[in-house]
Homo-oligomer: A and B are copies of this chain.
Amino acid sequence: MEELRIFAPATVANLSCGFDVLGCCLDNVGDEMLVRKNNLNQLRITRITGEELPMDIDKNVAGVAVLSLLKRLGSDQGFDIEIHKKIKSGSGIGSSAASSAGAVFAVNKLLDEPFSPKELILFAMEGERLASGNPHADNVAPALLGGFSLVKSYEPFEVLSLPSPEELRMVILHPLIEIRTKDSRAIIKQNVSLVKAIAQWGNLGAFVSALYTNDYDLLGRSLKDEIVEPIRSILIPYYDRLDEVAMEAGALGFGISGSGPSVYALCRGEENAVKVKDAIADFYKDQDIDFQLHLSKINSNGIRIL
């Protein structure tokens, strides 16, 4: 196999109760990438459409992710990478993760899969390190594994795949303002009260349990965050009203996607998700901010070969 065209999905990290450890994979929102072997022993970004991003491999998240993979393998195989961005940078739905994860996925396939999907996460995290200064896995893991991922621990590094109840739908609102992950991390307090931390791990435990028991209402009740969202939500225009609008339209839960500004509403069933999406659109069209809206299933498989 000489070249591969793939769909690299967007992802929703944190999911309120799982800051830095939880994420899930979207189905119909994502980039396209074309990765092709070359005979130049050289890694190149040959084309980027949809966004203005660095072509220099040391400054491009896909570049550094693939470099770390090739270095580990001791391979000097060259590749040309085309990135067709559909996910906007700074949207909070894993734009950098899609590029990093997609690139290492394709390169690994073209090299006859020396690494497992879980091993690829570590290489893709190098892209996240470049993007935000923090090699977090809660976007790249679900992009590579599909469904819901839980980062059990960073040292030693361990990621779990969790089940994904079939009727779940995600509605994503992306207000077209940019918040850089770096900035959004900077405002978080580095100490939390034990009481709030306990509330958080109670909710995360309940969320994981609910994924196994298909308890949709419990999933919704577990989507709480008293630590990060109260601070980050200040950066998101009309956050509290959006929460009300989504919940009144029947969403299971509502919160910030990744570091924002995108917000998500978790819904049960297509019909309810359409209703929630329409309610959010109806509210936000009256505000003075351009926006994108997505409605997606949970993607159980992660990156797709096109």
Q: Which residues from chain A sit less than 8 Å from chain B, CB to CB?
A: 17-22, 150-154, 158, 160, 162, 188-195, 197-209, 212, 218, 221-222, 224, 227
Contacts and interface: CB of A to CB of B under 8 A. Distances in A.
A212 to B, nearest CB: 4
A74 to B, nearest CB: 30
Oligomeric state, in number of copies? Answer: 2
Contact of A227 (B18, B194, B212, B227): B194
Contacts of A162: 209
B20 A205 contact: no
Those 5 A-B pairs whose CB atoms lie nearest each other, nearest first: A152-B206, A197-B197, A201-B201, A212-B212, A208-B208
A158 B192 contact: no
Contacts of A198: 19-21
B19 A205 contact: no
A205 B153 contact: no
Given A158-B221, A212-B212, A221-B158, A150 B194 contact: no
Contacts of A205: 18, 21-22, 150, 152, 160, 204-205, 207-208
Contacts of A189: 194
Given A193-B191, A199-B153, A200-B197, A206 B19 contact: no
A305 to B, nearest CB: 29
Contacts of A153: 199, 202-203, 206, 224
Contacts of A203: 152-153
A232 B236 CA distance: 41
19 contacts: A20-B198, A21-B198, A150-B205, A152-B203, A152-B206, A152-B221, A154-B199, A158-B221, A160-B205, A160-B206, A160-B209, A189-B194, A190-B195, A192-B194, A192-B197, A197-B197, A201-B204, A205-B207, A209-B212
Given A19-B198, A191-B192, A192-B192, 16 more contacts: A18-B205, A20-B198, A20-B202, A21-B201, A150-B205, A150-B209, A152-B203, A152-B222, A158-B221, A190-B195, A192-B194, A194-B227, A197-B200, A204-B205, A205-B205, A208-B208
